[in-house]
Amino acid sequence: MSEAMTTPSASATGGAAAKGRAPARRRGWGSLPVVPRRLALILMLLAAWQAYVSFSGISEFLVVGPVEVARALVEGFAGGGMLGATLTTMQLLLGGMLIGMVIAAVLTTLASWTKLGEDLLVLLTSMLNPLPAIAVLPLAILWFGMNSTSLVFVITNSVVWPIAINVSNGFRTVNPTVMAVGRNIGLSGVRIVKDVLIPAALPNIIAGLKTGWAFGWRTIIAAELVFGVAGGKGGLGFFINDARTFMRTSEVFAGLVTIAIIGIALELAFTWIERRTVVKWGTKAA
């Protein structure tokens, strides 16, 4: 048999090799690291904002550009006014969050132990979770007076229910086999909650904390806008409202940008916690 019949042609070999090779992956937006992508988006938004202010002819009493807002931020923090307002708001928010987390932990633990506790949690969340937290502020002022305790009360009411709902859902969706193993090795009561339920439901717990933080953040700003000064010191909501009253538009935007920056920082913190817990353990995709 001739060599031409036994040896594949060069074109056939090349075609087979081309078919065997995986197509080259096209590099696009999704192939870039997360941080450069987010920074690029922020820069595009800032550029669009500045272009609108520069070319639309809108009054500076209505909208100011990012340069003016950055200047107001620097002056506000350097002068201490915005820094003090931010610290006041964060202090009140952290206090309400801590109290809400403790109450949610007690309610969800009781719900995991007894049917009575579960019914109580379902009843309370169905009644109080749909209630806007700011609507409780007048009642809080009647009970506690015009002080920071009223603000902490409405913050607690806003954060406890989303946390409790997410944690309770996490407890209910724990693998029954895992629960059975925990009971077989003698775990019960607080130990089965601490050693089995909490680690297994950690994705839901983190989601509940993120939701509760967002609810509390919106509540404290709205409450300060209505309530004004908390215990002789004004928070970010009061700072924004005061700047609006005296037509300091750049300071209004500076207060809003401060809220946005804190929100981004907290999102990064929760992401960091997730990657070192539930993502690392394989209970949640990265």
Amino acid residing at 126: S
Q: Is the pLDDT of residue 139 over 80?
A: yes
Q: Is the pLDDT of residue 69 over 60?
A: yes
The pLDDT, as a whole number, for residue 2 is 47
Task: Judge whether 106 lies within some domain.
Answer: yes
Query: Percent of the chain at pLDDT above 70?
Result: 86
Q: Is the pLDDT of residue 241 over 90?
A: no
Confidence band for 283, pLDDT divided at 50, 70 and 90? low
The pLDDT, as a whole number, for residue 286 is 59
The pLDDT, as a whole number, for residue 26 is 62
Task: Judge whether 118 lies within some domain.
Answer: yes
Q: Is the pLDDT of residue 5 over 50?
A: no
Largest Cα separation within the chain, whole Å, is 105
Q: How many CA atoms lie within 13 A of 139 on its CB side?
A: 8
Domain that includes residue 92, residue range: 63-281
Q: Provide the number of structural domains found in the chain.
A: 1
What whole-number distance in Å separates Cα of residue 133 and Cα of residue 130?
A: 9
The pLDDT, as a whole number, for residue 73 is 93
Average pLDDT, the chain: 83
Strands, DSSP E only, in the chain?
A: 229-230, 233-234
Task: Judge whether 209 lies within some domain.
Answer: yes
Q: Which of 283, 90, 130 is nearest to 202 (CA)?
A: 283
The pLDDT, as a whole number, for residue 66 is 93
What are 145's two structure tokens? 């007076």
Burial 150-170 (b: 16+ CB within 10 A, else e): bbbbbbbbbbbbbbbbbbbeb
Confidence band for 284, pLDDT divided at 50, 70 and 90? low
Q: What are phi and psi of 182, to 5 degrees?
A: -60, -40
Task: Judge whether 201 lies within some domain.
Answer: yes
What whole-number distance in Å separates Cα of residue 204 and Cα of residue 100?
A: 16
Who has greater pLDDT, 200 or 189? 200
Task: Judge whether 46 lies within some domain.
Answer: no
What are 121's two structure tokens? 């949690």
Burial 6-33 (b: 16+ CB within 10 A, else e): eeeeeeeeeeeeeeeeeeeeeeeeeeee
Q: Is the pLDDT of residue 30 over 60?
A: yes
pLDDT tens for each residue of 12-26? 555 544 455 555 556
The pLDDT, as a whole number, for residue 182 is 78
Task: Judge whether 255 lies within some domain.
Answer: yes
| Mean pLDDT in residue range 200-217 | 89
What are 116's two structure tokens? 């009575």
Q: What is the CATH number of the domain that holds 69?
A: 1.10.3720.10
Q: Which of 231, 108, 117 is nearest to 162 (CA)?
A: 108
The pLDDT, as a whole number, for residue 31 is 79
Residues 6+ apart with CB under 8 A from 206: 270, 273, 274, 277, 278
Task: Judge whether 129 lies within some domain.
Answer: yes
Q: Is the pLDDT of residue 158 over 50?
A: yes
pLDDT tens for each residue of 219-235? 988 888 877 654 456 78
Please state whether 186 falls in left (phi above 0), alpha (psi between -120 and 50) or beta.
Answer: left
The pLDDT, as a whole number, for residue 231 is 45
Q: Is the pLDDT of residue 159 over 50?
A: yes
How many angstroms separate the Cα of 137 from the Cα of each of 140, 144, 160? 5, 10, 16
| Mean pLDDT in residue range 70-94 | 90
Task: Judge whether 42 lies within some domain.
Answer: no
Q: Is the pLDDT of residue 206 over 70?
A: yes
